[in-house]
Structure 1
């Protein structure tokens, strides 16, 4: 992997960490810890996924560990909303099995093109929508914890998630086909 690619991955990690932690210093520290952990454990990288995917999984776990220490993490999400059919998400707002990044065929999940498109779509969401979507889907926050962290009502959360899903669906549909 080229140095420019590593710099780009680090910048993407920082962007994700800043959005979730809302603290520049903590985000820098968590990203550094994740990168250090990746370097120390590189022999465990089995190349079953892209390096970026593996490093982001480490980052996600570092963020979760940090939030657990701060007593702000709940494992089970209780977000349920009454939304219309959505091609990528079920009635509870979770990825449908056939579209979940965890259940996609390996070639699709690790396709650089898919993740570039997904990241582009996520980046084009309004900041608050992007943040609550990532808290929900990547960090498994409960609706109550998201509302407290972002200082919004439950109704506002449902609207933000609904709009984020619709925009992601629209973007992914148009950019992947």
Structure 2
């Protein structure tokens, strides 16, 4: 009985020899956006295929094959960030220093300084995820972030991890996490405005 069930589970997956051809490019694209380094992304994808091969009998068919592979890859990426976080200083980020973009004191404290408020985006936000060009610019902007800022942004705003889980993975305090995330989003917005939105406007 157990052998029949095991065979049934395995039959729901395609031949592992086809995985690289069918899923390789997609998984690499997923990994390179998050890991930034080509060699590291390739290693993560290879580790994903190996882990999937070893765990193929546990596949229950509750999700598609690619979704299952992506979930394994996501765990590999999180493991990479966990190792990398040991080499990155998340605590020396001047969290007590008032951000230069905001008024520090007085009745307007905490509001944008003159000329620092971000401009309004005149873009179709609903369709951004489907625009290949947008993802290319997004990757460039993430590449420009310092490691500690990039990791926090990727885990929170791309992987949609909870703050508590990110703190556990990166061993960072919640207060530091909020500050780093704020700076990540601000850097990203400025970068996209500079290298993407300006290009969009110039082509109109």
The TM-score normalised by the length of structure 1 is: 0.50
**Residue equivalent to 2:62:** 48
Of the candidates 22, 27, 32, which is equivalent to residue 46 of structure 2? 32
Match of 1:155 among 186, 190, 201: 186
Deviation at 1:26, TM superposition (A): 1.2
The runs of at least 4 aligned residues of structure 1 exceeding 4 Å deviation read: 2-6, 141-147, 158-161
Q: Partner residue of 1:60? A: 74
Taking the aligned partners of 2:55 and 2:131, their CA distance within structure 1 comes to 29
Give the number of equivalent residue pairs: 122
Whole-angstrom distance in 1 between the partners of 2:42 and 2:33 = 12
Indicate if the aligned counterparts of 2:128 and 2:134 stay in contact, CA closer than 8 A.
no
1:125 aligns with 2:134: yes
User: SS of 1:49's equivalent?
Assistant: coil
Unpaired runs of 5+ residues, structure 1, are 75-82, 90-116, 162-177
Structure 1 residues 29, 64: CA separation in 2 closer, same or farther (over 3 Å shift)? same
Residues 1:10 and 2:41 are matched in the alignment: no
Matched, 1:20 2:34: yes
Name the SS of the counterpart of 1:48 in structure 2: coil
| 1:52 Cα deviation after fit | 0.1
Q: 1:143 to 1:127 in 2, by over 3 A?
A: farther
Do residues 138 (structure 1) and 152 (structure 2) align?
A: no
Distance 2:47 2:19 in 1: 19
The answer to whether the Cα contact below 8 Å between 2:52 and 2:69 also exists between their aligned partners in 1 is: yes
Query: Structure 2 CA distance, aligned partners of 1:5 and 1:36?
Result: 11
Secondary structure of 2:75 counterpart: helix
Pairs within 5 Å for 1:74-113: none
- Larger Cα Rg: Structure 1 or Structure 2? 2
- 1:10 aligns to what SS in structure 2? helix
Report the aligned-residue RMSD. Answer: 4.3
* Distance change >3 Å, CA 144–CA 129, structure 1 → 2: farther
Per-residue deviation at 1:46?
A: 0.5
Deviations 1:77-133 (A, max 9, x none): xxxxxx9xxxx99xxxxxxxxxxxxxxxxxxxxxxxxxxx997x153424243676x
8 Å CA contact 1:144–1:154 kept in 2: the answer is: no
The whole-number CA distance in structure 1 between the counterparts of 2:159 and 2:23 is 17
- Which of 63, 70, 74 aligns to 2:84? It is 70
